[in-house]
Amino acid sequence: MKRYSKAVLATFVAGLFTVVGATAAYPERPIRMIALNPPGGVSDTCARTIGEKLTERWGQQIVVDNRVGASGIIGSEIAAKAQPDGYTLLLGFIGNLSINPGLFSKLPYDPQRDFAPISLVARSPIVVAASLSLPVKSIRELAALAKAQPKKIAYSSSGNGNGNHLATELFSSMAGIELLHVPFRGGPPALAAVIRGDTKLMFGNAVFTVPQVKAGRVRAIAVTTENRLPLLPEVPTIAESGYPNYVVTTWFGVLTTAGTPPAIVKKLNDEIVDILNDAEVKQRLDRAGLIPAPSSPGEFAALIKSETPRWTEVIQKTGARVD
């Protein structure tokens, strides 16, 4: 019995030292970070901002892998089923983590079971951008026109079930209007349709919408935050425009595969939080219309858990569905 116990102990100790050694050496090779938006989208912007800094600090390349489509399901499944070694990261967001569970009857991943949250990265305000050909200059005028023309005003979204899709449906429900949903594979292509006039409206993330507003290619008629944005101080909030209970922001964060050693998760969290507190990174995110939001793994996990029932309720109330 004693020999057996010693053998078991020796095996345990050897395994422990192997894990500790691997953790201490991490990272020893390039890391893949999956982004669920195309280049120029918010997820991509966050991934590249974090990835560039991690590459500088660790001397290992962070390769951004854009896996677009299916409401973030494709990239999320890849990350969920990767080896739990910290070499596959996911730049997740409100859509794939807290909206999809209420939107799809079956998912190939469980947001709360299959991932190890590392840190929230940023919150993104939403700008209501109208085509220059749409004869409205305020959210009230939009509501009035939509009531007079039900299901005639087409709006873009960055994909079925994404945050801006649900944000639009929530507003439509509150305003008592019906708009025509046209989903795209990502935010920039969706906004490009508004610029061309193919669609007339988009609740777009500030990171790619504000530059087009500044360039005069689309008209900003409202923002979805509680307060006006410093980047667009002249644009009123939806809340101050007659819908006081309407406040929405989307959020983005880094996760890895569940089962990844806690020491690796902590190492990633320490570095990412430090990066997000860097003055240069703060300025870069601010210029992009993003609000840095570093967190602990536990805080990020709690956000995912609390937001899921909120958006499930919105889906049920508005009747939003995957087309």
Tell whether the model's pLDDT for residue 16 goes beyond 60: no
pLDDT tens across 222-278, in order?
A: 999 989 998 899 999 999 999 999 999 889 999 999 999 999 999 999 999 999 999
**Which residues, including other chains, have CB under 8 Å from residue 288's CB and lie 6 or more apart?**
45, 206, 207
Tell whether the model's pLDDT for residue 8 goes beyond 90: no
pLDDT tens across 29-40, in order?
A: 999 999 998 888
pLDDT at 20: 55
pLDDT at 70: 83
pLDDT at 93: 93
Peptide bond into 27 cis (omega under 30): yes
Distance CA 304, CA 253 (A): 10
User: 125-241: which CATH architecture?
Assistant: 3-Layer(aba) Sandwich (3.40)
Domain spans in the chain, listed from the N-terminal domain onward: 2-124+249-318, 125-241
Superfamily of domain 2-124+249-318: Bordetella uptake gene, domain 1 (3.40.190.150)
Q: What is the 3-state secondary structure (H, E, C) of 47-111?
A: HHHHHHHHHHHHCCCEEEEECCCHHHHHHHHHHHCCCCCCCEEEEEEHHHHHHHHHHCCCCCCCC
pTM of the model: 0.80
Tell whether the model's pLDDT for residue 12 goes beyond 80: no
pLDDT at 23: 74
Backbone angles phi, psi at 258, to 5 degrees: -60, 145
User: Above pLDDT 90, what percent of the chain?
Assistant: 74
pLDDT at 13: 53
Q: How confident is the model at residue 87 (pLDDT cuts 50, 70, 90)?
A: very high
Neighbours of 147 (CB within 10 A): 12
125-241 matches 2-124+249-318 in CATH topology: yes
